[in-house]
């Protein structure tokens, strides 16, 4: 491997913990090719025993994609880098293609990392990509575009923080972006100095897609100023988002509890404090979690709901969640409408957005379905919690069935060995940006979800800090 810009690679990767190895997502374009060579240089010098795997995702959308993947494989072989090509097979959606491709790409990258026991995947997103992302989200917020393509696309002003330095995928694998503060042209200049070529993807200039249109716009008159403003906006909103999330997490830790399965309780003081902005964000996340929704509920509707919480007792539904404010507290649980039908249990399945299912060896013939009101009526009472609410929440919790009989995790412990249903923080279960780590951790602790895996950085406890060091 070439001795490639050690000062640059040290700056980019010195804070990483590569003890479990690293997966580099390499498409063959200039950004990912530079990422691969810089990362390999750093690992050779500082982590010589660490495993490096380059993975190319063939989205199977263009006739030349397979040949491009072969070219990347040859490049890796020439420089002693293990490589794997994974193909997104099957039918492609007629709409929302960029979002579907992104989901498939991260799923395949995470699968490759998990197969090798590696906890971190590195991608080649640059400052150019960040500026484009912020401007696209700004355009959507202003109503000028309707395409969606990322985990924050529907997230009101929070999405203007841009791409997070790290994103936890499927609550297991970190997707990190070490090049977010590096210009694409600077990376290309590094490749030119070392006579390393790259592949030009024709879709990067295809005006049918939103990102290429934005890229073309940034290359026109006034583009440099728009670029600088977008990067500055991302930094400002990221800092504000982390701070607001920290305050919302504190409110959840102080005022929220779980008096029964699937039933959240908020003290009345939650809605009567001075930090309404943080309380509304906390409420949005709790509503989405209780209802198993992938996205936070509409901010305006949640603000109206919060005002009603301050006024007195009432019942309402929002984001698939029933809200019951009464003298004993403010209670949230999944509403009984539109629950999943009974279906054969599937391993590593996110059921109803609320529970992750893990199957054991004795899983043949198992069916998962809501417990139902009849079984819920037999549940024991709990102190200081209305029994009707406990039953309503329990009735929509998942249960395992076989041959029409419900299985009990206590009575059938031997039969169900290795099978589990653990809570999931629904809005962050698939994609958790590092901006929201403290907020997600607070909800995880509340509902008993698995703890977050540590960030793959040494000496930092939150996303973003390492990128700004």
Sequence spans of domains, the chain: 6-220, 343-423
Q: What is the pTM of this model?
A: 0.91
The sheet with strand 321-326 has its strands ordered as: 256-260, 263-266, 329-334, 321-326, 314-318
Give 440's DSSP letter: H
Q: Is 209 helix (H, G, I), strand (E, B) or coil?
A: coil
Q: Looking at residues 328-340, what average pLDDT do you find?
A: 96
The dihedrals phi and psi of 307, each to the nearest 5 degrees, come to -60, -35
What's the pLDDT score for residue 148? 37
What's the pLDDT score for residue 147? 40
Residue 253: burial class (beta carbons within 10 Å; 0-12, 13-18, 19+):
middle
Give the pLDDT band of residue 201 (cuts 50, 70, 90).
confident
Query: Hey, what are 262's tokens?
Result: 């699937």
Gyration radius of the chain over CA positions: 24
Summarised one tens digit per residue, pLDDT across range 218-248 is 888 888 999 999 999 999 999 999 999 999 9
> Is the confidence at residue 462, as pLDDT, over 50?
no
What's the pLDDT score for residue 124? 97
**C-alpha to C-alpha distance for 322 and 297, rounded to whole angstroms:** 13
Average pLDDT over all residues of the chain? 89
Q: Looking at residues 98-126, what average pLDDT do you find?
A: 95
The fold of the 6-220 domain, in CATH, is Rossmann fold (3.40.50)
**C-alpha to C-alpha distance for 270 and 330, rounded to whole angstroms:** 9
- Tokens 């190319």 correspond to 56
């Amino acid at each position: 491997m070439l001795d490639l810009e050690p000062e640059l690679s040290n700056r980019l990767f010195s804070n990483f913990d590569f003890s479990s190895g690293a997966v580099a997502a390499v498409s063959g374009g200039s950004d990912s090719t530079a990422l691969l060579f810089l990362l390999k240089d750093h690992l050779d010098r500082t982590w010589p025993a660490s495993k490096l795997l380059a993975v190319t995702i063939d989205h199977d959308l263009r006739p030349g994609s397979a040949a491009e993947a072969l070219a990347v494989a040859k490049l890796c072989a020439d420089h002693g880098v293990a490589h794997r090509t994974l193909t997104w097979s099957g039918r492609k959606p007629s709409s929302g293609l960029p979002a579907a491709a992104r989901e498939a790409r991260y799923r395949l990258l995470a699968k490759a990392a998990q197969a090798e026991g590696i906890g971190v995947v590195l991608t080649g997103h640059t400052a150019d990509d960040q500026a484009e992302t912020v401007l696209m989200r700004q355009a959507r917020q202003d109503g000028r575009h309707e395409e969606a393509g990322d985990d924050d696309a529907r997230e009101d002003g929070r999405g203007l923080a841009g791409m997070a330095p790290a994103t936890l995928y499927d609550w297991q694998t970190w997707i990190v972006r070490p090049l977010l503060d590096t210009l694409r042209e600077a990376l290309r200049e590094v490749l030119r100095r070392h006579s390393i070529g790259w592949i030009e993807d024709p879709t990067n200039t295809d005006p049918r897609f939103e990102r290429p249109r934005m890229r073309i716009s940034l290359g026109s008159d006034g583009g440099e100023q728009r670029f600088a403003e977008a990067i500055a906006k991302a930094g400002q909103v990221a800092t504000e988002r982390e701070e607001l999330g920290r305050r919302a997490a504190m409110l959840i830790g102080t005022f929220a509890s779980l008096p029964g399965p699937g039933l959240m309780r908020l003290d009345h003081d939650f809605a009567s404090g001075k930090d309404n902005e943080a309380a509304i964000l906390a409420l949005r996340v709790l509503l989405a979690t209780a209802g198993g929704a992938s996205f936070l509920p509409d901010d305006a509707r949640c603000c109206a709901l919060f005002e009603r919480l301050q006024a007195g007792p009432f019942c309402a539904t929002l984001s698939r969640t029933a809200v019951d404010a009464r003298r004993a507290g403010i209670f949230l649980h999944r509403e009984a409408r539109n629950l999943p039908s009974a279906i054969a249990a599937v391993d590593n399945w996110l059921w109803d957005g609320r529970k992750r299912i893990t199957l054991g060896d004795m899983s043949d013939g198992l069916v998962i379905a809501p417990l139902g009101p009849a079984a819920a009526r037999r549940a024991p009472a709990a102190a200081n919690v209305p029994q009707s609410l406990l039953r309503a929440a329990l009735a929509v919790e998942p249960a395992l069935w076989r041959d029409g009989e419900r299985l009990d995790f206590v009575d059938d412990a031997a039969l169900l060995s290795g099978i589990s249903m653990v809570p999931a923080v629904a809005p962050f279960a698939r994609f958790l940006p590092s901006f929201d780590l403290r907020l997600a951790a607070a909800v995880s602790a509340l509902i008993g979800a698995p703890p977050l895996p540590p960030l793959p950085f040494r000496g930092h406890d939150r996303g973003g800090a390492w990128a700004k060091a």
